Amino acid sequence: MKTDWILRLVTFCIYLLTALGFSIWLPEQFCKLIGEEGASFNSCKWQIFGFRFVFILLSLPMELLTYAVVYRNATDMIFKIQLRKLSGPSEIEMNGGKK
């Protein structure tokens, strides 16, 4: 479970770096494609960059909530495993899962 959390964190960092990279590169390409020139070209680039940046910021709370849930689940699982080692198997486990 901790591995899952670490992999999610690494992929999130890769996503964030890629998204920011494309937020810088794509606006220029898009504005060239639609034929903007001069001052309107710079305005166009900043508008598209701002839109992408706001989208990234809006997606962050959901991503961080996901990481918190996965981390909490991983620590709960580790706690249960350690508790089972200390206390031994429960009555349900000793009877084969039946009451």
Q: DSSP H helical segments within the chain, as ranges?
A: 2-33, 38-87, 91-94
When pLDDT is cut at 50, 70 and 90, the band that residue 99 belongs to is: low
Task: Round the average pLDDT of the chain to a whole number and report it.
Answer: 78
pLDDT at 4: 75
How far is 25 from 11, CA to CA, in rounded Å?
21
Closest to 75 (Cα-Cα) out of 7, 4, 8: 4
pLDDT band at 42 (very low <50, low <70, confident <90, very high): confident
**Residues 8-34: pLDDT tens digits?**
888 888 988 888 888 788 888 878 888
HSE at residue 31, side-chain half, CA atoms within 13 A, is 20
Are the CB atoms for 27 and 49 separated by under 8 Å?
A: yes
